[in-house]
Structure 1
Amino acid sequence: MPFKTILAVTGVDGSDSDLQTAADLCRQAGAHLSVLVVAMAPPPPIGEYATVSTIWLEQRDRDRAKLEASANHARETVSRAEISFEIEGIYVEAGAADREIGDRALYADLVLIGPSVLDQADFKRQVINGSLFQATRPILLIPTDSTPSLQPKTVLLAWDSRAEAARAARESLELMAKATSVHVTLVDPEAVRGKNGAEPGADVAAYLARHGINVTVDQLPSAGRPVASVLQQHAVDISADMIVMGAYGHSRVRELIFGGVTRTMLGETAIPILMAR
């Protein structure tokens, strides 16, 4: 599908480079940019001392002032890009941030998560939960020192015949149709009926080809390595500009306890990743 509204989530200390990247991607896609600047409120004090409560209230006042200044700075920065945009600042309790982010993501085609957010574990989790699980919108992870583009030449589509991977493929159809090549990549695929079929990757390759996508199927052995490592190395080998993949094929609880491809890719990627669920 086309990306006509793109949401960029940032904190009050977010970098100008994240905003510039978001503006560049919107210009590239002819999209409207919605920027959400998030400030997390400090937890309420524990105790009955009035001085503690006063300090807490004063901190909240300072946070709100900083949020307003950050939103104004973001507005000034993005206005130079000559694109359609809007800026909103929200001051939220930490436990409600994902819900607030999800409410905004409902009206976006894609949510950008730049380096400044990826470097903050708690904030990153809030943005991902709000986008992927609250609003079920695709996200684009933009690692430090990467060059993101919504017109990638080479795309790696991580495929495991799950609904999440299919959703990621559908969300990326227009993007992949404009790419020079798309590599449907399977790691240790099982050629069984009801999973990958007699020829793993053939079904999704045919589906993509009907959309005019130049597709190649790559079946890779893990050789005992983690699946995420195999995908990351293959992306480097084919000079991929982007990885497209489904998120959380297993439950989040299972991935949190035992690890998983999604968790590893979220923490270690060096190439922009478009994830959907």
Structure 2
Amino acid sequence: MTFKTILAVTAPGLGDADLKLAATLCEEAGAHLAVFVVGLAAPPPIGAYAAVVSEAWFQERQLDLERLQARTDTVSGLLASMTVSSDVSSEYQEIAWADEAIGRRARYADLTVLGPEGLSSEELKTNVIEGVLFHSGKSLLLVPQGAAPTLKPRQVMVAWDSRLESSQALAASLPLLVKTEEVHLVLVDPVESEDEHGAEPGADAATYLARHGVKVTVDRLPSQDRPVAAVLRQQAIDTAAELLVMGAYGHSRLRQRIFGGVTSSMIEDPPIPVLMAR
């Protein structure tokens, strides 16, 4: 599989930097750029004062719709000035269900990109991350401030722990890995056992990659009482990685998303562009 459709998500009040970043990746990959403009609706008033404030709430929703239309028009104008193939769609969605709307849209893209602007907007970031990871079955690329993302990286680091999410991230990243100069498969405190890493931790994953023509090196690292995320961050620096590939660990409980410690750390402060899948 190659990346043929890349999705970028934006919202009223945001600028165009993330869209331009996604367009650059589309140019590099020869991909189509799909933009989803999402307006987040505040919940309706409830309780004793609901009747008093409902008129103000309706007026605010009308303003939201106008802002959404204005943002969509601005995005349409921007896309018309670009050379990449593109389309734009928009949706005004209750904030409790916005992640599912984004996830549905992401099912029709090979990759969703969330850049620095999106990462700085807590509501949008939360809904994009949860929507893509829990509702699309596709991968997500997080791009921190100051990073220069590329879909043709020379050095890639893969965080490997032999679990299902890690395997899915590895498979999702294969279109990139087969074209790299070197991939570092990083294991932190690997356990030698039949139901974890096997007799030689990392060997089976390295063989899988090598059969695809990937040039892979296995790095088995001790945590030495450091958080796993800190070990991964340092290894990304030490290997001059341009991309970190990792599985996203978490689950949904009564619509409350719960991520594991390493996943949460990378979401909050990605050291380099991070490709996630689950």
TM-score bracket for the superposition, by shorter chain length = over 0.9
What SS is found at the alignment partner of 1:28?
A: helix
Q: Mapping of 1:229-244 within 5 angstroms?
A: 229-244=230-245
Q: Is the CA contact 1:20–1:78 (under 8 Å) kept in the aligned structure 2?
A: no
What SS is found at the alignment partner of 1:216?
A: strand
Matched, 1:45 2:45: yes
Q: Who is 1:74 aligned against?
A: 75
Q: Who is 1:216 aligned against?
A: 217
The structural deviation recorded for 1:259 is 5.0
What SS is found at the alignment partner of 2:128?
A: helix
Q: Who is 1:263 aligned against?
A: 264
How far apart, CA to CA, are the structure 2 residues paired with 1:174 and 1:258? 26
How far apart, CA to CA, are the structure 2 residues paired with 1:256 and 1:30? 34
Bigger CA drift: 207-216 or 187-196?
187-196
The structural deviation recorded for 1:23 is 0.4
Residue identity matched to 2:87: E
What SS is found at the alignment partner of 1:14?
A: coil
The structural deviation recorded for 1:123 is 2.4
The structural deviation recorded for 1:256 is 7.4
The structural deviation recorded for 1:251 is 4.3
Residue identity matched to 1:232: R
Normalised by the size of structure 1, how large is the TM-score?
0.94
How far apart, CA to CA, are the structure 1 residues paired with 2:187 and 2:43? 45
The structural deviation recorded for 1:194 is 2.4
Normalised by the size of structure 2, how large is the TM-score?
0.94
What SS is found at the alignment partner of 1:270?
A: coil
Tell me the C-alpha RMSD between the 2 structures.
1.8
Q: Mapping of 1:1-277 within 5 angstroms?
A: 1-46=1-46, 47=48, 52-248=53-249, 251=251, 260-277=261-278
How far apart, CA to CA, are the structure 2 residues paired with 1:78 and 1:154? 31
After superposition, the C-alpha distances for 1:82-135 in whole angstroms (9 at most, x for unaligned) are 111111121111011011111111111111111122122332221122111111
Q: Is the CA contact 1:144–1:270 (under 8 Å) kept in the aligned structure 2?
A: no
Q: Give unpaired runs (5+ residues) of structure 1.
A: none
The structural deviation recorded for 1:34 is 0.7
The structural deviation recorded for 1:252 is 5.8
Percent identity, please: 48
How far apart, CA to CA, are the structure 2 residues paired with 1:140 and 1:228? 17
Q: Is the CA contact 1:39–1:92 (under 8 Å) kept in the aligned structure 2?
A: yes
How far apart, CA to CA, are the structure 2 residues paired with 1:258 and 1:173? 24
Change (3 A) 1:188 1:55: same
How far apart, CA to CA, are the structure 2 residues paired with 1:237 and 1:164? 25
How far apart, CA to CA, are the structure 1 residues paired with 2:204 and 2:20? 39
After superposition, the C-alpha distances for 1:145-175 in whole angstroms (9 at most, x for unaligned) are 1111111111000000011111111111110
Runs of at least 4 residues off by over 3 Å = 46-51, 250-253, 255-259
How far apart, CA to CA, are the structure 2 residues paired with 1:49 and 1:202? 62
Residue identity matched to 1:237: D
Residue identity matched to 2:12: V
What SS is found at the alignment partner of 1:152?
A: coil
How far apart, CA to CA, are the structure 1 residues paired with 2:89 and 2:95? 18
Aligned length: 275
